[in-house]
Structure 1
Amino acid sequence: MSNAHFEFDNEKVIEIIGFFESYSGIGESARLCALSLRDSGFKVKCTSVEAVYRKTAAFSWPLDGFYHGNDKPSIRIFHLNPPMLPPAIFSLGFKAYKQSYNIGYWAWELEDIPAEWQAALKYMNAVMTPSEFTSRAIRKHTSKPVITVPHPVSYNLKGANEDIRARLNIPASTFLISSIFSFGSALERKNPQSLITCFKQAFNQNEDVMLVLKSNSGSGDEKTHINELIGDDQRIRLIDESWDRADILGLTQTSDLYASFHRSEGFGLTLAEALLLNTPVITTNWSGNMDFCNSQNAYLVESALVPVVTDNHEFKGCGNLSWAEVRHDAAIAQMRAAFKAIKAQGKPQTHALTIGYLKNNGYELAVAEIGKVTQV
């Protein structure tokens, strides 16, 4: 851990380290952090680490308005989960790492963290997370500051492609349900399988309704399994390809309902985006998304806790932990309720409490809170 003194003011440089040029949740996390702190008046330096991990940049992150000088950062925020930290620290240089106050922004999806994460706590001066669900899991293992900072989702919701339905040949009159996930984020956790199954049972072939599953990184047995579940049902479409930000936002915004029957979320970024785009959501009533999803702003689906069963390397050794399995009867009933209400009344406006929560819990307040804690 660095012994650097905590210094936080507008004249000091804050360096954000992450996958700025990747289409991923962890990449979006870094971008939102940088935009939020920059717009709060801080000198923000962005360091993208694709090359460190031998990844190809998916696009070029615009650096307008960010810091490009030679002043040393007083604070570094690593938008990298613990298994990713060593290469980033080595590339930075151990001397430089020791000269800054280092904060890890970590997202985890279960009620306790693995041993590897526990060990990594010694390398950080403090930790930020996107939800109280994740914060509680980490606080069990450290007395260091652990602060919840929801993603400042509203910073990156402009420029939605409003013609996306036309491009996909989906009529405006069709009731469109969408869901976005990556095959690389543990398919068992994202659980599109339950969504497909429940959709088929909730709607008959005569109803004008469609389910679009937008994914990326699909290959091999997992993608084959999803296509087998879909079968010859023409109302369900799996689109496994890279889209730019405008198309992703366009799909969410022009949907009548956004669905996530996840088994666990560290936050639920696409759910938050949907709510702020005035698209109703139907989702599992458990984990990180419950910080901003409630019975007033979402169609919550009852679930039961079941043991974690997955071959994904991220959750190796977590078999003694649980995650949530949506009750299919409850999911089907909520899908029917949403369909009926939205068809009759249209899409409701986002609840004011949702907007307030997602806009008023920012990085500036969180960093200031860490400063208070360290001075006690």
Structure 2
Amino acid sequence: MPAAHGTLRETPARIRVVGLLSSASGLGRSARLCIRQLADYGWEFSTRDVSDLYATGDDVAYARGHRDLPATVSIFHLNAPMLLPGIIKAGLSSYYRSYNIAYWAWELEYLPGDWIDAMRFVDAFMVPSTFCRRTIERYTTKPVLTVPHPIQLEMDKVLSPKPGDQVFRVLSIFNLGSSFERKNPLAVIRAFRSAFGNDAGAELTLKTSQGKRYPQDLAIIKQEIARGGNIKVIDEIWTDEQLCGLYRSSDVYISLHRSEGFGLTIAEAILMEVPVIATGWSGNTDFCSADTLSVVPYDLIAFADNDPAYHGVSDALWAEPSIVAAVHELQKVRSDMSASTARARAAKAEFLSYLGRHTYASALNDLGRRNGL
């Protein structure tokens, strides 16, 4: 298949979004957030769901837009190994008529060979963070624009008030299909246990998904938490409203990830005004300030992960967050919830300002200017 050679002959107005639109995965959510913002900004759009190619469909609803709309620009929310099959499935005729953009999220500072090879199939890239942009720019002279996920979790979606009991609730959310080692849930469990032991006044909830597809990883978590009665795991696909309620019922959100392309659940917690504890490295650092969040220090260590997504990656580094520091931050949040809540509100204000400066609309307009329109 020849390399992409699209040009923007007019200001982008009609957008086609291709991706795992009905999937509960991070890729699926990324595409749906894109669609929602395009609609909010009044852009005409069409959609093409290719979840069936990868058996990832979860019947998640999404806005379908204008059917058969001839697109000026196509945005493919598909990582590199999925890109060419997705292009073909979505229709080559539309591909050849479009200026084609890949929205890529990647969690390391180096790309595997198949990602580098796939770069030729698009004209430009959008990425969710500065961390991702710097990685992609190592390998291409094509435009690379930072467009953070336009999260829209509104407080009024929460149907129930925050529990009035005295239990200190800690929350961590992750998809088991997004690399067990990278998400590093065992560190969260060990930090919580070191901070609070079996104290019935503290509770950790691990909200996971795709446990049926990754039963061994789910079993490791369940084995790790078996010794205590104040840690629970919920492995289900939930609606936005249910997740909003879960965030709102929590006193702190914790992510001891080794690397993030963006940090979607961290961002969601911030928007729900939940105090956040997070590793201070990778994509989330665009919106995780030590002034408003509990940023966990780390050591950079040699990357090691058998997840197939990272096949061919060598000499990379990622973070090993300090469990000792995480324990201190958990105890600090619990000891002064008033101060922690005030910081959480400040973090939300900063994040909303950041999102407002980096939108799909501004990125598309930027591409138009680069092409002399």
Give the C-alpha shift of residue 8 in structure 1: 5.0
**Kept after mapping to 2: 8 A contact 1:53/1:87:** no
Deviation at 1:78, TM superposition (A): 0.3
How far is the alpha carbon of 1:179 from its aligned partner? 0.6
1:347 alignment counterpart? 341
Matches for 1:329-368 after TM superposition, within 5 Å:
329-342=324-337, 344-345=338-339, 347-348=341-342, 349-351=345-347, 352-368=349-365
The residue number in structure 2 matching 1:242 is 237
Q: Look up the match of 1:311.
A: 306
Q: Does 1:200 align with 2:201?
A: no
- What does residue 214 of structure 1 align with? 207
| AA at the equivalent of 1:313 | P
Which residue identity is paired with 1:58?
Answer: D
Residues 181 and 216 of structure 1 are in contact (CA less than 8 Å); yes or no, is this contact kept in structure 2? yes
Tell me by how many angstroms 1:20 deviates: 1.7
Aligned: 1:373 with 2:362: no
Asked if the contact 1:111–1:137 (Cα under 8 Å) also holds between the matched residues in 2, the reply is: yes
Alignment of 1:67 with 2:77, yes or no, is no
Residues matched between the structures, number = 366
Contact 1:164 1:251 in 2 (8 A): no
Structure 2: any 5+ residue segments left out of the alignment? none
Aligned residue for 1:272?
A: 267
Aligned counterpart in structure 1 of residue 227 of structure 2, from 223, 226, 232: 232
TM-score (norm 1): 0.92
> Would you say the 8 A contact 1:267–1:288 is kept in 2?
yes
Shift of 1:338: 1.4
1:249-272 per-residue CA deviation (whole Å, 9 max, x = no partner) reads 211122110110000000001111
Partner of 2:142: 144
How far residue 7 of structure 1 moved from its aligned partner, in angstroms, is 4.2
Alignment of 1:102-117 (within 5 A): 102-117=100-115
Q: RMSD value over aligned CA atoms? A: 2.0
Is the partner of 2:177 in helix, strand or coil?
helix
> Closer, same or farther in 2 for the Cα pair 1:164/1:53, shift >3 Å?
farther
Match of 1:255 in 2: 250
Instruction: Call closer, same or farther: CA 1:288–1:298 in 2, change over 3 Å.
Output: same
Query: Aligned letter for 2:359?
Result: G
Report the 3-state secondary structure (helix = DSSP H, G, I; strand = E; otherwise coil) of the residue aligned with 2:336: helix
Q: Secondary structure at the match of 2:84?
A: helix
What residue is the counterpart of 2:319 in the other structure?
324
The aligned amino acid for 2:207 is K
Tell me which moved more, 248-257 or 283-292: 248-257
SS in structure 1 of the partner of residue 305 of structure 2: coil
Structure 1: runs of 5 or more not aligned: none
- Secondary structure of 1:151's counterpart equals coil
Q: CA deviation at 1:164?
A: 8.9
CA contact (8 A) 1:160 1:248 kept: no
- Name the SS of the counterpart of 2:265 in structure 1: helix
Q: Indicate the SS of the match to 1:67.
A: coil
Deviation at 1:227, TM superposition (A): 1.2
Q: Return the alpha-carbon distance in structure 1 between the equivalents of residues 141 and 83 of structure 2.
A: 20
Q: Which amino acid aligns with 1:305?
A: L
Q: Which of the residues 5, 8, 23 maps onto 2:7?
A: 5
Q: Distance in 2 between matches of 1:258 and 1:47?
A: 34
Match of 1:301 in 2: 296
Q: Give the CA deviation at 1:161.
A: 4.2
Secondary structure at 2:42's aligned position in 1?
A: coil
1:26-68 residue CA offsets vs partner (Å, 9 max, x unmatched): 11111111111122121111221123334444233244xx323
Query: Alpha-carbon deviation of 1:87?
Result: 1.5
Q: Distance in 1 between matches of 2:74 and 2:44?
A: 12
Cα distance in 1 between the residues matched to 2:9 and 2:203: 52
Partners of 1:28 and 1:370 in 2: how far apart? 24
Q: List per-residue Cα deviations over 1:179-233 (Å, max 9, x = no partner).
A: 1001110000000100000110011434611000000112432222111211231
Q: 1:302 to 1:3 in 2, by over 3 A?
A: same
The secondary structure found in structure 1 opposite 2:205 is: strand
| Paired-residue identity, % | 35
